[in-house]
Amino acid sequence: MIFDVSALNLSNLIYVLRGIFWTLFLTFVSIGLGLILGSALAFGEVYLPPPFSYIFRIIGEVLRGVPLILLFLILYFAFNLGMTLSAILGLGLRSASYQGQIFRSSLEAISAGQLHAGLSLGMTKFQVFKEILVPQALRIMIPGWTNEFITVLKDTSIAFVLGVMDIMTRADFIARSIGRYFEIYIFIALVYFVLVKTSMSILNNLYERVRIPGLGEKR
């Protein structure tokens, strides 16, 4: 039989679905880490004087130029970090390099006139940043950031090579033990699809809710 529905019995499904915890945990932690490190990277690249800004730029280029699996393997085998930490750091560092780009381009999208206007009104540079630029940049960021969130969500499945017990690893485990591959993999493809679509609609709703009318595109 090509598609044997009995392979998808309740106990197998529950075993696989318990991996959602790890998938979401990895996604949220590494997105958070990426947000913090990414904004540091973006600030370093834009506001530090040349010799230092080059270092930040090179770090970003290297992180973006190396496959995720290789990053995982380096952290796991060469630095001997545990598998969970390797997965979080690998995803987080990679995401930082992309989120840095997103953050930088949204800061640059706000016209420089606003910075000058703020300064001429007697605000300090930090105040202009905190009160005027960052609130707008964060809003402009959301669409690009939605894509990044989904990329990270999908890429958590690559942590399979480290053996983190996420959906992918659990599915592989069950598929091997019962000898039915097609059904189980189709099932987790659907699980990922539902996760991706749900997070996409939540983030799009968030964007619509916090959007300043007239600023940024309507989705």
Partner 1 sequence: MSSFEIVLFKYKDFWLMGLKYTMLITVLSILIGIVLGLLFAIMRIYGNKFFKAVAVSYIDLIRGTPMIVQLFILYYGLGSTGLVKFTPLQAAIIGMGLNSGAYQAEYFRTAFLAIPTGQTEAALSLGFTRTGLIFNILLPQVVRIVLPSWTNELIALTQYSSLAMVLTVMELTAVSKYVGSKTFLYIQAFSLAGIIYLFVSVVLTRLMVYFENRLSIPGVSAQKLRI
Structure tokens at 136: 């707008």
54 touches partner 1 (CB under 8 A): no
Cβ at position 48, least distance to partner 1 in Å: 23
Q: Indicate the residue among 23 and 39 with the shorter CB distance to partner 1.
A: 23
Applying CB under 8 A, the span of 28-36, 46-54, 58-66, 84-92 interacting with partner 1 comes to 58-66
Binding-residue total with partner 1 (CB under 8 A): 35
Which of 121, 186, 202, 210 contacts partner 1 by CB under 8 A? Answer: 186
Place of tokens 């402009």: 140
Which of 77, 117, 121, 212 contacts partner 1 by CB under 8 A? Answer: 77
Structure tokens at 147: 């894509």
154 touches partner 1 (CB under 8 A): yes
DSSP-assigned states of every residue in the chain: --S-GGGG-HHHHHHHHTTHHHHHHHHHHHHHHHHHHHHHHHHHHHHS-HHHHHHHHHHHHHHHHS-HHHHHHIIIIIS---HHHHHHHHHHHHHHHHHHHHHHHHHHHS-HHHHHHHHHTT--HHHIIIIIIHHHHHHHHHHHHHHHHHHHHHHGGGGGGTT--SHHHHHHHHHHHHT-HHHHHHHHHHHHHHHHHHHHHHHHHHHHHHPPTTSS---
Cβ at position 175, least distance to partner 1 in Å: 7
Cβ at position 111, least distance to partner 1 in Å: 21
To the nearest 10 degrees (0 to 180), the angle between helices 134-155 and 20-47 is 140
70 touches partner 1 (CB under 8 A): yes
142 touches partner 1 (CB under 8 A): no
188 touches partner 1 (CB under 8 A): yes
Q: Indicate the residue among 31 and 158 with the shorter CB distance to partner 1.
A: 158
66 touches partner 1 (CB under 8 A): yes
180 touches partner 1 (CB under 8 A): yes
Q: Indicate the residue among 33 and 168 with the shorter CB distance to partner 1.
A: 168
Residues that bind partner 1 (CB under 8 A): 2-3, 61-62, 65-70, 73-74, 77-78, 154-155, 157-158, 160-161, 168, 172, 175, 179-182, 185-186, 188-189, 192-193, 196-197
